[in-house]
Structure formats: C-alpha cells, structure tokens
Structure 1
Amino acid sequence: MNNHNILDVLIVEDESHLAALHREFIEQNFNLRVIGIAGTLAQAKSLIQQYQPRLLLLDNYLPDGQGVELINTPLLKNIDCSVIFITAASDMQTCSQAMRSGAFDYIIKPVSFQRLRSSIERFLNLIHSLRSLTVIDQQGLDKLYNLPASEGATAPAAKGIEPNTLELVQQVFITQPQRSWSVDEVVAQVGISKTTGRRYLEYCVETRFIAVEMQYGNIGHPRRLYRLAK
C-alpha cells in the first residue's frame, strides 16, 4: 500500500485458470495491483475486509453463492469500490439486479480481453476525472458518466468481422493458451463455417492476437496451425 496512485484490484473467480489469465492481463496492461484472487464468496469477503480494493472483478456463479449478492452487502457499500461483473449469466434478471446494485459494468462470458480492456480503461478514466474535479455542472456530469475507452479498445472495424463471433474465436485460444489449433478444430468449437473461420483466424493473426505455426507431416501439404501469441 506504499504507492497511493496505484489502485488495488481483487479478482473473484472460481475458475483458477481464468482468474490467472485476468490477473496476468491486468498486471501487464495497467498500472493496477492485483491484491488477490478469491474462489468463493467467503474468501472474497475476507480479502475485501483486509485490503479494501478499489476495483472488483466479480464472477456470479461461485461455490458458496452468487456474486451479485455481494454487491449489496454493507461490506462493499461502505468502501469506495467499483464492480465489473463478469458472468456466464445472460438472463435479464441477473443483469438488471447487478446494474441496480451499482455495478460499473457487466461482461458476459466468454470474456473478450478487448471488452475487458475497454471496461477497465473507462473505469480508470472515470477515476482520473474525479480526482481532477472539485466542482461539476450537469453537462460535465453527463460527460463524466459516458467516458469512452481509448480508441484502441473499440470494436473491430474490419469488413466481415463481427465482435460477438470474434469473442468466441478468441476465447478458444484464451481457455487453452498452450495449445495449437487447426482451422477445423476452431470452427468445430465455435460452430461457424470453415470459410468464416479462416477469415476470423487471419484477422486475429493480423492483429497479433494469435500466431501461425506450420506442422510438417510425411504426406501432403504442411498444416497451418494457430496459437495464442506470446
């Protein structure tokens, strides 16, 4: 807690591999400090009490309850902590409950790191703006709560690339970062045609999200494989 300019983040996620990916992504891309990972609500409450983090990445489905229950507890309400809600729950009841409870953002799994980057950047922009303001009018307030993320985090503008499909393709590589995938394997996972799959894979290569590997066999042409870029 020596540097007061660095904000503390707590990740609440019971999938340890995904939690580790979130931690690595945050620490590599932002001036933020991940103070811990909680796999249950009980662990989350203990770490919140101990560290009073400024940002919470909160999964909903946890072994001992639902993350959305945590947002309304006095434990969170009594500290200055924003919540980015990350969950496989896409039902409107959970979404509206999280938003009514004051969640800063709501991200549906599978998580796109482009989408997560956008959310964290908006959070940091809001913090920066709040620190620099002493008096504000209505126009300034409206602008404050509609802060855009940096231009680099906007949805892909490439022709034929649809953000939701791109997220699904990227998630294939995120969930198994050490594995190399063929076109056939990726399209089977995502449920898209081979032609569409090739287009998205080449887009991911161009944007350096994935890298190409050539596998040479005894017979026929070499196989083109794809792997998460290092």
Structure 2
Amino acid sequence: MVNVVIVEDDPMVAMINQQYIERFPEFEIIASVDSIDKLWEELKEEIPDLILLDVYLPGETGIDFLLEVRKEEVSIPIIMITAANDMPTIKKALEYGVIDFLIKPFTFERFEQAIEKFKAYHGFTTSSETTDQETLDKLLMSENSNEGAQKKGKAVEPDLPKGLSKLTLRKVLREIAKHDDFFSTEDIASEVGLSRISTRKYLQHLNEIGYLKDELKYLTIGRPITVYKVHGNQEHLIADFQ
C-alpha cells in the first residue's frame, strides 16, 4: 500500500485530491492537513510514500517546506498541486526535486499522469538497493522518448505488464472499438470470454497508458462501478499489436 498525505488549505480542493487518490486502489490517504506545521506533526508519526503539496498555505509555504526537507535530508516524493503559475515558484519546485507540478485547475487525466510518474519512480527506487545504467536510463528517458515519438506522429507500443498477452490484448482492443460510449468491465468480459478479473487487468493497463479514460458511474443501488471510454484518437494501438 502507498501511503499519501494531502497538504491543502482549501477544503474543496482537498476533497477533489482525495477523490482522485481513492481511484487508485493501491493508494491510501493517511492524513489530510492544511498547514506545514501540521504536516511536520504528521511526519513525526510516519513518513509517507508521497505528499500532495500546495504552495500557498497559512504560515510557511510549500516551497519553504521543500527547502526544509532538503536541509533535513528527508527523502519524500512530492507532487505540487497549486494555483501558483509564476516561473520563480515553478523553477524552485523543480530544482528542489518534486516529482511533478500541477497547476489548478487540472483534469483527472493530468493528475493520473503525475501518479503514473510517481509509481514508476517509487517502483524503481524500492525494488532494489542498486541498479545499472540501462535500467536507470529506462526510468530517466522513457517519458522523453515517448513524448518525442508522439510529437513525430509515431505510435508508441506500450510494454505489457507481467501476465498480459498481446494476443488477448488485441481481442480486448477490437471489442473496445465496437463501443462508441462508456462501457464496463463486464461488457468487455462477456464479449471476449474472459473473467472480469482478467479483463479488468487489461482495461486498467490501457487506462494507465492513456488509451482509455475512466469514470465512476453511480447506480441507484449498491456501490459505484468504474466505466471506461477510449481517450481521443488512439486507432494506432490496434495496429501496434497486429
């Protein structure tokens, strides 16, 4: 489980951040505070895996906290979520080593990109005590190379997580292409002939790489379900797996 602390003095924004984080089942919010003083109190109890940090806070700012953390040599991945859009603030945040910087208002898709960037970093830095140049380069260069390929109009074939096959993914993609609107895991599972658990793994992977976008659908009775829809023009993906 990935432990998260939210630092935000606007209750509405804090609630949105919480709702976004709750869409990642492996993440858990252990505290939500509205000042740097309260954040330090939380850190005395437990060091989280990730902090979502605002800049403009009562008393000390988020930038002040970044500087203090550096001085204390405490290693905590941080994603800045703030209305601050001035270059000096952004420059300081990046120089102090934040994972990402989100300017309010932002979409869930952009938030998800920041979380995926953190997950890659977290997985890399906690998997072993040492690494080699090739593995390190994959982390440092993969995002830039993907962005470059997309800018040139080239399709970027995503790596498949362990347990997923290209053959089955091709079937899932073909069934997804038949849906013009949102669909559920059960919709695709029944068409492809997979279990819902297996189908969900493929849909979650496609969601993580940006092919799908997801939303919560609230039912009259029972818990809400996750539904998916193709995100933009992604026709190249089917061709990538032919």
For normalisation by structure 1, the TM-score amounts to: 0.58
Q: Report the residue type matching 2:98 in the other structure.
A: A
CA distance in 2, matches of 1:129, 1:210: 30
C-alpha deviation, 1:136, in angstroms = 2.7
Structure 1 residue 70, shift from structure 2 partner: 0.3
The aligned residue for residue 52 of structure 2 is: 57
Q: 1:106 to 1:208 in 2, by over 3 A?
A: closer
Quick check: 1:70 aligned with 2:72? no
Question: Using the alignment, how far apart are the partners of 1:126 and 1:81 within structure 2?
Answer: 12
With over 3 angstroms needed to count, the CA separation of the structure-2 counterparts of 1:207 and 1:122, relative to structure 1, is: closer
Number of the residue aligned with 1:144: 139
Number of residue pairs the alignment of both structures matches: 153
Which residue is equivalent to 1:32? 27
- Mapped contact 1:126–1:147 kept (Cα < 8 A): no
Q: Is contact 1:54–1:80 with CA below 8 Å preserved after alignment?
A: no
Q: How does 1:122-201 map to 2 (within 5 A)?
A: 122-148=117-143
Match of 2:75 among 68, 80, 97: 80
- Which structure 1 residue ranges, 5 or more long, are not aligned? 1-5, 156-205, 212-228
Counterpart CA distance in 2 for 1:55 and 1:38 is: 14
Distance 2:11 2:47 in 1: 22
- Within 1, Cα distance between the matches of 2:122 and 2:216? 32
The verdict on how the C-alpha distance between 1:24 and 1:128 changes in structure 2, with shifts beyond 3 A counting, is same
1:23-56 superposed Cα distances (whole Å, 9 cap, x missing partner): 1221222411111111111111111222211101
Deviation >6 Å, runs of 4+: none
Residue 167 of structure 2: aligned partner: none
CA distance in 2 between partners of 1:18 and 1:74 (Å): 24
Q: RMSD value over aligned CA atoms?
A: 2.9
Residue 105 of structure 1 deviates from its aligned partner by 0.8
CA deviations 1:159-203 (Å, max 9, x no partner) are: xxxxxxxxxxxxxxxxxxxxxxxxxxxxxxxxxxxxxxxxxxxxx
Contact 1:8/1:55 (8 A) holds in 2: yes
Aligned partner (choices 100, 113, 120) of residue 105 of structure 1: 100
